[in-house]
């Protein structure tokens, strides 16, 4: 059931214009590849449940941001309330890879005082023949910033699930270890509603939200 989830994570998807952010998200949330898509205006919103362990579901709220510079002032506002992010570049577009630094700098400024767990995503990996960025250099860059690297294709549905679920798992581990905690006034992580039957010891923290049972 939709309403039952352990946590809600807000993820932001960023990267240059036309690297395929919206297509990746729609493949993940709608299970299909949208051939034509207009440039995103400002931000768009998607959500999906992910089961990270049997019976343990996380609701992902995904913020799809416009890559276009003119919307930057809008999209910036969304960093702060995200716990995780997918930073996309297009493996067939070297420029979008070079801009990864800028994106990271940009987020660093605007995410304060919180932090975002990022994964670097090399998108459009189905177009291997047109590749302009090698896997090796992308991995190196990711490692330098302490990120994981994954290559995906929305068209061929390669690694799309994995990109989102791996990130979700990593965040979940951090939440479990207390390195990321739910905070008043921060939307990055929220606890969900869990029915009594599924209630287990580690969810006791959320009991105040179920007081009306």
Partner 1 sequence: MSEKDNGENLEEEATYEDENEQKPEERSHVESSKEKEQEAVPMTRKRPEPKPPSQSAATEKSTADTPKVSDSPAAQTGWGYWGSWGKSLLSTASATVATVGQGISNVIEKAETTLGIPSPSEISSETKDATRGGENSDDNSADEVADGSSFPIAGALGVLSTISTAVQSTGKSVISGGLDALEFIGKKTMDVIAEGDPGFKKTKGLMNRNSTLSQVLREAKEKEEQQTATEVTMATEKKAHYGLLFDEFQGLSHLEALEMLSRESESKVKLVLSALSGEELDTLKEEMEQLKEAFSLAEFFEEEEEEKKGDEEFTKEVTELFSELHISTKPDKLITVRTSAHEWIAQFNSSLPKEEKESEDNQEVEAGDGDHDAKKSVEDIHAFAIRSLAELTAYSIEMFHKTAALFLHGQKEEVTATDRAKSLSQLTIVLCKELSTFSKEFTTCLTVAGVKEKADVLNPLITGVFLEASNSASYIQDAFQLLLPVLQISLVEARTELSQQ
CB of 148 to partner 1, least distance (A): 27
Distance in angstroms (rounded) separating the CA atoms of residues 209 and 138: 43
According to the binding rule CB under 8 A, does residue 203 interact with partner 1? no
Question: Any idea which residue has 């994570």 for tokens?
Answer: 9
Which of 1, 36, 109, 204 binds partner 1 (CB under 8 A)? It is: 1
Query: Residue 111 phi/psi, 5° resolution?
Result: -90, -15
**How many residues in the shown chain lie near partner 1 by CB under 8 A?**
30
Q: Minimum Å distance from CB 160 to partner 1?
A: 20
Helix H segments across 34-125? 72-76, 94-98, 100-111
Q: Pick the binder of partner 1 from 113, 196, 201, 204 (CB under 8 A).
A: 196
Site for partner 1 in 71-90 (CB under 8 A): 71, 73-74, 77
The phi and psi torsions of 25 (rounded to 5 degrees) equal: -65, -40
Tokens of 106: 């940009």
- Does the protein bind partner 1 through residue 145 (CB under 8 A)? no
Would you state the structure tokens that stand for residue 191, as one six-digit string? 């606890």
Is 34 one of the binding residues for partner 1 (CB under 8 A)? Answer: no
CB of residue 213 to partner 1, shortest distance in Å:
5
Quick one: DSSP state of residue 211?
T
User: Least distance to partner 1 from the beta carbon of 145, Å?
Assistant: 28
Query: Which of 51, 173, 193, 205 contacts partner 1 by CB under 8 A?
Result: 193
Rounded to 5°, the CA angle 20-25-27 comes to 95
Among 17, 18, 43, 157, binds partner 1 (CB under 8 A): 43
Q: How far apart are CA 62 and CA 19, in angstroms?
A: 17
Interface positions with partner 1 (CB under 8 A):
1-4, 38, 41-47, 61, 70-71, 73-74, 77, 192-198, 209-213
């Amino acid at each position: 059931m939709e309403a039952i989830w352990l946590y809600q994570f807000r993820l932001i998807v960023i990267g240059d214009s036309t690297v395929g952010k919206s297509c990746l998200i729609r493949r993940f949330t709608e299970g299909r590849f949208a051939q034509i898509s207009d440039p995103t205006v400002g931000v768009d919103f998607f959500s999906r449940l992910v089961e990270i362990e049997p019976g343990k579901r996380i609701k992902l709220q995904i913020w799809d941001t416009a890559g276009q510079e003119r919307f930057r002032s809008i999209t910036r506002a969304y960093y702060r309330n995200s716990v995780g992010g997918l930073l996309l570049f297009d493996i067939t577009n070297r420029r979008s890879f070079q801009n990864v630094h800028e994106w990271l700098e940009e987020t660093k400024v605007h995410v304060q005082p919180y932090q975002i767990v990022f994964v670097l995503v090399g998108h459009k990996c189905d177009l291997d023949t047109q590749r302009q960025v090698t896997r090796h250099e992308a991995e190196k860059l990711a490692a330098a910033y302490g990120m994981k690297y994954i290559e995906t294709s929305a068209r061929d549905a390669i690694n799309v699930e994995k990109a989102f679920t791996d990130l979700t798992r990593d965040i979940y581990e951090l939440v479990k270890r207390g390195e990321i905690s739910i905070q008043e006034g921060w939307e990055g992580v929220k606890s969900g509603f869990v029915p009594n039957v599924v209630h287990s010891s580690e969810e006791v923290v959320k009991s105040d939200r179920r007081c009306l049972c």
